[in-house]
Chain A
Amino acid sequence: MRIFNRIVMILLLAGLVYLGVATVVYIFELGPYQLEDLSNTLGFGGLYEGLNGYVGNIESGNVEALDIIALSAIALLGLILFILELKPPTPRRVRMQRGTYITRRVVEREVSPVVEQKPEVLQSNVKVKAQRRPGAKVEVRASIRPGEDARSVQSEVQSRVQEHMAETGVPISNLRVRANESDPRQTKTRVK
């Protein structure tokens, strides 16, 4: 979201720079440019009229429901962007203790073999997210054959991963396991 906000700011600043340069050129009447022509050149003539009419309508209490919805949506969007900008970024590394971190890749490398040890699991997809508090948020997707008992696979994988991570000591604050039925022809291994 920071990137989106940056793009918005870059576009805004680019517009202001353009406006500033145009204003300087027109103020000093460089070349054939006259200051009174500036608003027409920038295409603000129609905008002024429209804005005038719109503000006049609001002042007289003549606002359509669609306008209220549009203005509320713009205000809400601005608020959401503002909150997302203020929110501190998600850390890249998983915090273990005070001053010690582990990369997400290491956590993935720890979890993935444990999941694939289970014979029913044909393929696994492990996603690790770091959090501001200690411990990683781990999401495991295990591919199983159609007809397998997904619930028992999920619970067994969950307990195996928890046991293994407790042995290695890597903290996991949130572990979610999902077992999805997949076509064995499209998975990493067909038979175990």
Chain B
Amino acid sequence: MDDDLQLARAAAEAALATEGVYSLGTGRYAEAATYGPGEKVTGVVVGSDEVRVHIVVRYPPPEPIPALAERVRERAASIVGGRATTVVVEDLEVVQDENL
């Protein structure tokens, strides 16, 4: 259980460190999270054979959305080892240009 939490934390950090990712998604119909004793990591669901990362993309994105999602998937996959990695683009967040 602790391993799952650590894995979820690492995958979340990797996703958030990717340019174009605004935040982690929370899921729509059910909460997307990994649960541990007294703690949860929202935005990453660690299963026995799959890790699913939910992201909210900064809009406008720095690159096409599929490419961005693929980059997040590659980063997360390098952390989670042999488990299948899935990335879900859950929402877009319009961000004002800081230079304006």
A169's contact among B64, B87, B88, by CB below 8 Å, is which?
B64
In the bound complex, residues from chain B placing their C-beta under 8 Å from that of A170 are 65-66
> Is the CB of B91 closer than 8 A to any CB of chain A?
yes
> Is the CB of A31 closer than 8 A to any CB of chain B?
no
A168's contact among B28, B65, B70, by CB below 8 Å, is which?
B65
> Is the CB of B86 closer than 8 A to any CB of chain A?
yes
CA distance A169 to B60 in the complex (A): 12
Given A101-B86, A103-B28, are A96 and B65 also a contact pair (CB < 8 Å)? yes
Given A168-B65, A169-B67, A170-B66, are A100 and B90 also a contact pair (CB < 8 Å)? no
Residue of A with least CB distance to B90 = A103
In the bound complex, residues from chain B placing their C-beta under 8 Å from that of A109 are 91-92
What range describes how many residues of B lie at the interface? 20 to 34
* Chain A 160-192 interface mask (CB, 8 Å, partner B; 1/0): 000000011111000000000000000000000
Residue of B with least CB distance to A169 = B64
From residue A29, how far is it (CB to closest CB) to chain B in Å? Answer: 51
30 pairs of residues in contact across A and B, judged by CB atoms under 8 Å: A97-B66, A97-B70, A99-B70, A99-B85, A99-B86, A100-B73, A100-B86, A100-B87, A100-B88, A101-B87, A101-B89, A102-B69, A102-B88, A103-B28, A103-B88, A103-B90, A105-B90, A106-B90, A106-B91, A106-B92, A109-B92, A110-B92, A168-B61, A168-B65, A169-B63, A169-B64, A169-B65, A169-B66, A169-B67, A171-B66
> Is the CB of A127 closer than 8 A to any CB of chain B?
no
CA distance A94 to B89 in the complex (A): 10
Q: Would you call B64 and A100 a contact (CB within 8 A)?
A: no
> Is the CB of A93 closer than 8 A to any CB of chain B?
yes
Q: Would you call A100 and B91 a contact (CB within 8 A)?
A: no
In the bound complex, residues from chain B placing their C-beta under 8 Å from that of A103 are 28, 88-91
In the bound complex, residues from chain A placing their C-beta under 8 Å from that of B88 are 93, 100-103
